[in-house]
Amino acid sequence: LNAPVDTPAAPRSVGAVTPSRMSFDAPLKLKSGASVARYELMYETYGTLNAAKSNAVLVPHALNASHHVAGYYADDPRNVGWWDNMIGPGKPLDTERFFVVGVNNLGGCFGSTGPSSTDPETGRPYGSRFPVVTVEDWVNAQARLADRLGIQRFAAVMGGSLGAMQALQWAISYPDRVGHALVIAAAPKLSAQNIAFNEVARQAITTDPDFHGGDYYAHGVVPRRGLRLARMIGHITYLSDDAMMEKFGRSLRAADIGYHFDIDFEVESYLRYQGDKFSTYFDANTYLLITRALDYFDPARDYGDDLAAALSRALAKFLVVSFTSDWRFSPARSREIVKALLDNRLDVSYAEIDAPHGHDAFLMDDPRYFELVRACFENVARAMA
Amino acid sequence: MTDADRIRLAGRADFEAIAAWVREDATVLDLGCGDGLLLRYLTQARRARGYGVEIVDERVIACVRNGVNVIQTDLERGLSDFDAASFDYVILSQTLQAVRHTEQILMDMLRVGREVIVTFPNFGHWRGRLQIAFGGHMPVFGSLPYQWYDTPNVHLFTIRDFDRFCADRGIGVLERVVLSDGEPVRFMPNLFGSLAVYRLQKRRLLGKL
């Protein structure tokens, strides 16, 4: 049996990274029937693509994140990639071995073409005219990026949450282009409760007087209040009750309660801070688009609501991971995916990590979780060789 | 060193008996699969398509490292995630004595597997009988190496107990091998055998054989 590989060098950062931009001139047909004539995608890569181009790993992002997955920017060293603890030299996804690609999805607000980009036809931001995009559309756009980077096949696609849904979709849309799919903290489709939370977030944005039907750019404003609320409600769903209690309890900002409606409790302060911060950098239309992509994600829908039938095309080896305290996408939702993979007799391993952090656990340091991902990538490397 | 060598080294003589029964290209569910050694062996020796079930984090990670499919779940919670007759074989090796809901798990295995293979240490082995009868202490020997205070075993039983259990529940015994030091025991197996390996099936299907 395989012993753990020799102790790798102490994990470290990939260091200063530089984002790149790729332009696509061929129209991208979307699932809705609409199409995007031309678009650009921001991406980052870490590590070196080997001569056989067999060591590429795609890491799609979830709701709030971007192509900046690991490392930092030389001119902004505090801007560290969102999965920097997972990816880098000596880390579970080891950039000494793998060529890692992070990409900002179509419709995003970190440089890829999205609602805040200028529509070449009008010379104004797309705003409300930007089409609704789906997980399938993102995956198709990512596949084109892979083509241009000369990557015929990804050794692995790894994602958490909405990123995991993209990994799953990759295995369905491009079965022969994915070696392994790491599907972490995922669900095969949103529940009514999940959609309900998204709808509250969207309503917060669209009912903000500064929303202007999505064309707020022309008015020189952003629906900040709506974005704040959207972020606050989202944030609550990312944390477990226990984690929140552990972190904040009923701690007060002041010595005693104030008998007012301003901040009394630490948790209120925290949520407001998160909301404020988010509303300064995230585009409201992108938030609408991404939550809608989540709502619409349902690969079984085209297969008579049979997830196993949807996955019958897949060829990848799967690692499915859930976290016990995740109530947003609970372990039971991951087990639905596992069941469908088992029904197809696909290679699948499933781990249920006993972690207290809720949905956010997929972004946290956890020795068992990291060791699991590391073990999986040892196999990915073996399959590559 | 081949995997077969390692199995002998690991003292898991029952693995070879199991592998001898598993048909080529069979689908296998191995409950309490540890680091996946048996499944790897069955994959190599029988081209089996296998999945393990394991609860302990470290073992799940070891399976993933070894390239063995593993589903992390608690056996005691049952096999409700698995459909009826969805595997050719469901295997439980040297674990039946360590589970709490013995009967329920065995019945669930018979539901999920077209055939079931179980192995267990024989509490009726003469060494154990002597130790209790004349030493006056709980048996400690080869297949039952634990002291009373550190044993993971919660249900200790003999080959005769298990035969009666199967007869009472309508479980068909398709085949049985009893081992001692890795060698088959034919004469008075409940006295001389330390490890029992059974191939089982629901009786209702047995009639068709």
Q: What single-letter DSSP state applies at residue A129?
A: G
- From the list A16, A111, A93, A2, the residue with the least C-alpha distance to A55 is A93
pLDDT in tens, A275-288: 999 999 999 999 99
Report helix, strand or coil for A50. Answer: coil
Whether B40 sits inside 8 A of A375 (CB atoms) is: no
Q: Using a CB-CB distance cutoff of 8 angstroms, which residues of chain A are in contact with residue B51? A: 342, 348
pLDDT reading at B208 higher than 60 = no
CA dist A161 and A60 (Å) reads 10
Strands (E), A16-111: 20-24, 28-29, 35-36, 39-46, 56-60, 72-73, 76-80, 87-88, 93-94, 99-103
Choose among B139, B203, B143, B140: nearest CA to B169: B203
Beta-carbon separation of A1 and B6 below 8 A: yes
Buried b or exposed e, range B103-120, using 16+ CB within 10 angstroms: eebbbbbbbbbbbbbbbb
Which residue has better confidence, A4 or A145? Answer: A145
Q: What is the pLDDT of residues A130-183, one digit of tens each?
A: 999 999 999 999 999 999 999 999 999 999 999 999 999 999 999 999 999 999
Mean pLDDT of A370-380: 98
What integer is the mean pLDDT of B116-127? 95
- And the tokens for A1? 């049996």
Q: Is the pLDDT of residue B206 over 60?
A: no
pTM as predicted:
0.94
Closest CA to B60 of A353, A381, A324, A363: A353
Cβ distance of B65 and A342 shorter than 8 Å: no
Q: Does A103 touch chain B (CB under 8 A)?
A: no
Tell me: the pLDDT tens digits for B72-121? Answer: 999 988 898 899 999 999 999 988 999 999 999 999 999 999 999 999 99
What is the mean pLDDT of the segment spanning B130-137?
Answer: 94
**Tens digits of per-residue pLDDT, A305-356?**
999 999 999 999 999 999 999 999 999 999 999 999 999 999 999 999 999 9
Active site (annotated) includes residue A161 = yes
Residues in a beta bridge with A93:
A87
B61 interfaces chain A, CB cutoff of 8 Å: yes
| Residues of A with Cβ-Cβ distance to B72 under 8 angstroms | 350-352
Q: Does B105 touch chain A (CB under 8 A)?
A: no
Kindly provide the ipTM of the predicted complex, given to two decimals. Answer: 0.92
Q: Is A384 on the interface with B (CB under 8 A)?
A: no
Please list, in sequence order, all residues whose beta carbon lies within 8 angstroms of the beta carbon of residue A343, skipping any fewer than 6 positions away. Answer: A308, B83
Residue A268, number of CB atoms within 10 A of its CB:
16
Q: Which residues pair with A124 in a beta bridge?
A: A119
Most B-contacting residue of A1, A183, A318, A319 (CB-CB within 10 A), to test interface: A1
Over range B174-179, report the average pLDDT.
Answer: 95
Q: Tell me, what's the pLDDT at B12?
A: 77
What's the pLDDT score for residue B4? 63
Give Cα separations from B75 to A381, B36, B94, B113 (angstroms).
31, 16, 14, 15
Closest by CA position to A16, among listed A100, A76, A66: A76
For residue B52, give the chain A residue with the closest CA.
Answer: A349
- Asked whether the beta carbons of residue B65 and residue A382 sit closer than 8 angstroms, the reply is no
Q: C-alpha distances in angstroms, A332 versus A161, A191, B70, B126?
A: 14, 12, 16, 47
Say how far residue A15 (Cα) sits from the centre of its chain.
22
End-to-end, the C-alpha distance of chain B in Å comes to 40
CA proximity to A138, closest of A111, A177, A103: A103
Phi then psi dihedrals of residue A108, to 5 deg: -75, 180
Contact criterion met (CB below 8 Å) for B101 and B154: no
Partner-chain contact B72 A368, CB within 8 Å: no
How far apart CA A54 and CA A376 sit, in angstroms, is 16
Residue A1 has pLDDT above 60, yes or no: no
